[in-house]
Amino acid sequence: MAVRPVLTWGDPRLKINSSDIGEWTPELDQLVADLFDTTYAEEGVGLAAPQVGVNLNLAVIDTSCGADPSARIVLVNPEVVKEEGSQVGPEGCLSIPGIHEVLERPMKVWVRNRTPQGEWVELEGEELLARAFCHEIDHLRGRLFVEYFGPVKRQILQRKFNKSRA
């Protein structure tokens, strides 16, 4: 088990637009395993490579939190191609521990995704999985979920986060 340290809000590496992955390598297999190990250790639903300091378009999601191995999803160079409906609910982030806020996301999302074998597939997610797709792809674009809020709300959340870290 290889749990990696998760970067937290304020680290400039979380603001970088990630690079596409070319040829799949054994090092990427190890990174995927580490991302899942870290997600489970931190009791999360997903984790993007930039959150552990790796600037690649790679993320993992498991809405079963490790209970169902078939629920494991690896996102490689993903792109949202369609959104439908809306849902409003609480959202958190392993890079912003202790902060959970209500945020609107699409109810259903379709994602164009590359498999490690290089094939392009379309993934479909509803409810929590749709939220997770959007959240992790935001990380790959250098965006944290708190950036959906206005400046005053973000300042309040930043103070709350900083206070919890002191």
Does the annotation list 100 as a binding residue? no
Nearest to 50 by CA among 28, 10, 19, 91: 19
Q: Is 93 annotated as a binding residue?
A: yes
- Cα dihedral across residues 95, 101, 104, 109: positive or negative: positive
* Active-site choice (91, 127, 136, 147): 136
Do you know the residue count of the chain? 166
Tell me whether residue 134 is annotated as binding: no
Our answer to whether residue 104 is catalytic in this structure is no
- How far, in Å, CA of 135 to CA of 125, rounded? 12
In angstroms, the CA 10 to CA 53 distance is 13
CA distance 60 to 114: 13
Query: What residues are annotated to the active site?
Result: 136
The binding site consists of 93, 135, 139
The binding site for Fe cation consists of 93, 135, 139
